């Protein structure tokens, strides 16, 4: 009945309006089709924008050998599975799903189409045809923490969190460990936006943090809204995901910029060569999967310190989560990675380090 | 000379039938112009939007999947709106229904609980949705509080409650602290109707809901009461109809349907409870209810049509690289034209010449 009604409705609605003989799925067999699922709009100037830049880099690198398609603003709910499957059905053979919330939908579609390869960003579930990739952003956060502690006069940092998931929590902890290495009494105030991309909320959070006495703003949300507020108020801030200096020429200290292009190019190349394998990539500064924007709006000695720390982390000489790590309650965390916390401990991080005077949501 | 909008003495039934066609026609004309400006072939673009999704079973299934929650919620809302009770909080009732049903799924996870689990979940979802909707209804009938405000505000309460549960007590212990429950057991999952697809039992339930609402409104005294209370409150009072009781009843029914839609969505296409299970279904359903003229069959058609524009919009992004924003413009235009054309049912345009302008009573 539903189908009949549907057909009836469609016929009714379209009566006499269009006559279409369209072939949309004409695709050359020798071209590799690569699909992307984006969380935000390509113009978010943050997270999604960086994936989009990497997609454009792919097109530039491979030219006629690939054809790329993206779907933007795909919510991390029941619609995601359909969006991914639509890309499969349109002939895409390699599909990048670029947000944590696409994990289960990607896995479901991957099981259904074993001959299509999937790349999921920032999740932990894998399959024979589903790889994962992410960056060790906490390394950059440690550098930011050091800069923030040097730059703050009030000794209070303002932090806009998105969701209290391990990636964000480990970022807060790394920031604090970096800051404490400069000023052991540094304080941080945290506001949860409960969204990755909500410029209005992000701006409000930044205002609230500044009103509460914070004088350095850092964020784990995707828009430049917080940077703009800091700029308006004459305070300093860190960009997120991409270069945000345009939004705070006198405010941006640096930014953790996602530079996915090298990874995307290597994966597409592997796909073209037939050597694609499902693996887990967690790239640090040394892989250039993310990079620090130029250190600006700070005295030379702070800049020098930041560059030294960056070099030390890149060379593997400095571990942000160096043992002993002490949690909020003063308990020493078990050290599973030799002289630093193990990857699993960072990937599943669910505690605040000592000195964070706040309660984690849901704990 | 001037245009005036003049009230008709009675509804024009011809226009009532033709109005949606005019609206669709105007939308198509406007969109064609827009596509042409964007440099896309309008015929091809409209074909991708409206025809392609209807040509294969996969897309048809997806349309039904997308329309299922919209139709179920909208049918419930239409009863409220017909009775002049303004339930704006279906989104919250949807979420609470999802939470209540998930409670059973989470508690029975990994046990040998049998086939009673899913029916119990559906019943719990509907009951919780109804109870949750009764809060604003009772505030209205007992204290005269605006149900528009209270029902809307309860959306945020439900949203945050769900958020708390999946971050705290119900979090998947094996999920790296990510905010989601574990995948539901098979006995707690809404069965799929066609192997390999996503069309699920919920679609049939939605059809039953449409049929039941048609009978209720068209063939029962209660349905008559609902319509009279909305259309002519004074007449209803003289007729001895208890409008308070009807507010409670319609709110309970619409809450139950929204709650049922919520648990079906979670136990069906999503498969677990997580934040963001609804991309605003409860609000989109308000549009569906009015597009369908508060008539169950009309709502079914409107729900399917709106779902078609979602699916078509995705395919247009993939096949023709038409930005998502155009899909949104398209949906907005459609609603705009439908409402604009509907005013022709009750009003008509008249051209008045200054010299002949005489004051006349209007009907």
User: Pick from A83, A100, A349: which is nearest to B314 by CB?
Assistant: A83
Which residues of chain B does A21 touch, with a Cβ-Cβ cutoff of 8 Å? 47
Contact assignment for A71 to B176 by CB distance below 8 Å:
no
Which residue in A has a C-alpha nearest to residue B23's C-alpha?
A: A13
**pLDDT at residue number B113:** 84
Residues 155-194 (A) with a CB less than 8 A from some CB of B: 163-166, 169, 194
pTM of the full structure: 0.84
Interface contact B40, partner A, CB < 8 A? no
Q: Are residues A75 and A125 in the same domain?
A: yes
Whether pLDDT at B354 is above 70: no
Residue A143 within a domain: yes
Q: Are residues A108 and A209 in the same domain?
A: no
Q: What is the mean pLDDT of residues B335-342?
A: 85
Q: Are residues A242 and A227 in the same domain?
A: yes
Sign of CA dihedral B37, B38, B39, B44: negative
Interface contact B196, partner A, CB < 8 A? yes
B65 within 8 A of B199, measured Cβ to Cβ:
yes
Contact assignment for A19 to B58 by CB distance below 8 Å:
no
Interface test with B, best of A42, A44, A77, A122 (most B CBs within 10 A): A77
Q: Residue A50 belongs to a domain with what CATH number?
A: 3.40.50.2300
**pLDDT at residue number A28:** 45
Tokens of A151: 């730059």
Tokens of A70: 């993206």
Interface contact A342, partner B, CB < 8 A? no
Distance in angstroms (rounded) separating the CA atoms of residues B218 and B228 = 12
Distance in angstroms (rounded) separating the CA atoms of residues A79 and A183 = 46
Distance in angstroms (rounded) separating the CA atoms of residues B137 and B152 = 12
Q: What is the mean pLDDT of residues B51-76?
A: 94
Which tens digits make up the pLDDT trace of B149-200? Answer: 999 999 999 999 999 999 889 988 877 677 889 999 999 999 999 888 899 9
Confidence of residue B347 (pLDDT cuts 50, 70, 90): confident
Confidence of residue B344 (pLDDT cuts 50, 70, 90): confident
pLDDT tens track, chain A, 363 positions:
444 444 444 443 343 333 333 333 444 457 999 999 999 888 888 899 999 999 999 999 999 999 999 999 998 888 899 999 999 999 999 999 999 889 999 999 999 999 999 999 988 899 999 999 999 999 999 999 999 999 999 999 999 999 888 899 999 999 999 999 999 999 999 999 988 889 999 999 999 999 999 999 999 998 899 999 999 999 999 999 999 999 999 999 999 999 999 999 999 999 999 999 999 999 999 999 999 999 999 999 999 999 999 999 999 999 999 999 999 999 999 999 999 999 989 988 989 999 998 888 766
Interface contact B194, partner A, CB < 8 A? no
Listed in sequence order, the residues at least 6 apart from B137 whose beta carbon sits closer than 8 Å to its beta carbon are: B85, B147, B247, B248, B251, B252
Distance in angstroms (rounded) separating the CA atoms of residues B325 and B359 = 47
ipTM of this complex: 0.81
Tokens of B110: 């990994």
Contact assignment for A87 to B21 by CB distance below 8 Å:
no
Interface test with A, best of B47, B177, B195 (most A CBs within 10 A): B177
**pLDDT at residue number A363:** 62
Distance in angstroms (rounded) separating the CA atoms of residues A162 and B178 = 13
Residue A361 within a domain: no
Domain range for residue A184? Answer: 137-257+293-315
Q: Tell me the three state secondary structure of residue A237.
A: strand
Q: What is the mean pLDDT of residues B88-116?
A: 94
Q: Are residues A35 and A166 in the same domain?
A: no
Q: Are residues A39 and A78 in the same domain?
A: yes
Q: Are residues A93 and A241 in the same domain?
A: no
Whether pLDDT at B355 is above 60: no
Residues 56-75 (A) with a CB less than 8 A from some CB of B: 69-73, 75
**pLDDT at residue number A13:** 38
Distance in angstroms (rounded) separating the CA atoms of residues B327 and B225 = 39
**pLDDT at residue number A184:** 96
Q: Are residues A154 and A300 in the same domain?
A: yes
Residue A218 within a domain: yes
Nearest to A220 by CA among A290, A152, A146, A169: A169
Q: Are residues A181 and A216 in the same domain?
A: yes
Strand extents, DSSP E, B204-362: 347-352
Q: Are residues A121 and A223 in the same domain?
A: no
Counts of helices then strands in chain B (DSSP H, E): 13, 2
Contact assignment for A20 to B46 by CB distance below 8 Å:
yes
User: Pick from B46, B52, B310: which is nearest to A24 by CB?
Assistant: B52
**pLDDT at residue number A350:** 87
Radius of gyration for chain A, computed over Cα atoms and rounded to the nearest angstrom: 22
Q: Are residues A148 and A249 in the same domain?
A: yes
Whether pLDDT at B293 is above 90: no
Contact assignment for B301 to A5 by CB distance below 8 Å:
yes
Interface contact B54, partner A, CB < 8 A? yes
Whether pLDDT at B231 is above 90: no
Q: Are residues A76 and A156 in the same domain?
A: no
Number of domains in chain A: 2
Interface contact B270, partner A, CB < 8 A? yes
């Amino acid at each position: 009945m539903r189908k009949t009604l549907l057909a009836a409705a469609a016929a009714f609605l379209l009566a006499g309006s269009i006559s279409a003989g369209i072939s949309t799925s004409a695709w050359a067999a020798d071209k590799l089709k690569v699909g992307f699922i984006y969380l935000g709009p390509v113009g978010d100037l943050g997270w999604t924008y960086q994936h989009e830049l990497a997609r454009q880099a792919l097109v530039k690198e491979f030219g006629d050998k690939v054809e790329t398609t993206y779907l933007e603003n795909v919510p991390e709910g029941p619609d995601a599975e359909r969006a991914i499957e639509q890309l499969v059905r349109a002939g895409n053979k390699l599909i990048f799903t670029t947000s944590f919330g696409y994990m289960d939908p990607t896995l479901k579609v991957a099981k259904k189409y074993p001959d299509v390869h999937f790349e999921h960003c920032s999740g932990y579930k894998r399959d024979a045809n589903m790889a994962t990739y992410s960056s060790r952003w906490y390394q950059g956060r440690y550098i930011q923490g050091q800069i923030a502690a040097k730059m703050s006069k009030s000794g209070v940092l303002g932090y806009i969190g998105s969701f209290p998931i391990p990636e964000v929590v480990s970022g807060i902890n790394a920031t604090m460990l970096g800051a404490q290495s400069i000023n052991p009494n540094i304080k941080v105030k945290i506001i949860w936006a409960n969204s990755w991309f909500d410029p209005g909320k992000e701006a409000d959070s930044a205002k609230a943090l500044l009103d509460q006495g914070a004088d350095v703003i850092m964020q784990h949300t995707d828009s430049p809204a917080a940077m703009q507020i800091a700029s308006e108020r004459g305070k300093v801030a860190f960009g997120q995901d991409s270069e945000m200096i345009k939004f705070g020429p006198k405010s941006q200290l640096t930014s953790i910029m996602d530079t996915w292009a090298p990874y995307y190019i290597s994966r597409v190349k592997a796909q073209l060569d037939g050597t694609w394998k499902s693996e887990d990539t967690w790239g640090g500064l040394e892989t250039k999967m993310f990079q620090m924007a130029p250190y600006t709006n700070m005295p030379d000695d702070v800049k020098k310190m930041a560059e030294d720390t960056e070099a030390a982390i890149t060379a593997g000489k400095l571990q942000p989560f160096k043992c002993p790590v002490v949690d909020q309650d003063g308990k020493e965390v078990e050290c599973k990675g030799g002289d630093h916390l193990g990857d699993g401990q960072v990937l599943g991080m669910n505690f605040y380090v000592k000195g964070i005077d706040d309660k984690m949501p849901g704990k | 000379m001037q245009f005036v909008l003049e009230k008709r003495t009675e509804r024009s039934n011809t226009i009532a039938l033709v109005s949606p066609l005019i609206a669709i026609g105007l939308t198509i004309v406007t969109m064609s112009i827009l596509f042409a400006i964007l440099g896309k072939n309008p015929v091809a673009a409209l074909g991708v939007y409206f025809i392609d999704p209807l040509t294969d079973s996969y897309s048809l299934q997806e349309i039904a999947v997308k329309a299922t929650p919209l139709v179920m919620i909208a049918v419930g809302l239409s009863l409220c709106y017909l009775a002049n009770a303004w339930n704006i909080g279906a989104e919250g009732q949807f979420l609470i229904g999802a939470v209540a049903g998930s409670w059973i799924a989470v508690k029975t996870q990994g046990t040998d609980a049998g086939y009673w689990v899913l029916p119990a979940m559906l019943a719990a979802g509907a009951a919780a949705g109804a109870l949750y909707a009764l809060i604003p209804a009772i505030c209205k009938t007992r204290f005269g509080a605006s149900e528009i405000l209270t029902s809307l505000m309860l959306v945020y309460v439900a949203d945050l409650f769900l958020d708390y549960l999946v971050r705290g007590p119900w979090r998947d212990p094996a999920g790296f602290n990510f905010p989601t429950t574990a995948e539901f057991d098979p006995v707690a999952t809404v069965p799929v109707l066609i192997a390999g697809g996503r069309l699920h039992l919920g679609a049939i339930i939605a059809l039953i809901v449409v049929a039941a609402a048609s009978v209720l409104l068209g063939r029962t005294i209660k349905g008559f009461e609902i319509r009279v209370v909305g259309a002519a409150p004074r007449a209803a009072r003289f007729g001895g109809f208890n409008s308070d009781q009807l507010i409670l009843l319609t709110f309970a029914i619409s809450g139950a349907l929204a709650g049922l839609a919520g648990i079906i969505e979670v136990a069906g296409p999503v498969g677990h409870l997580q934040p963001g299970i609804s991309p605003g279904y409860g609000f989109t359903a308000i549009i569906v209810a009015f597009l369908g003229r508060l008539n169950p069959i009309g709502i079914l058609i409107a729900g399917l049509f709106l779902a078609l524009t979602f699916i078509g919009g995705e395919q247009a992004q993939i096949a023709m690289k038409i930005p998502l924003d155009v899909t949104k413009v398209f949906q907005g235009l459609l609603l705009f034209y439908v409402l604009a054309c509907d005013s022709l049912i009750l009003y008509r345009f008249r051209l008045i010449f200054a010299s002949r302008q005489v004051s006349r009573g209007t009907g």
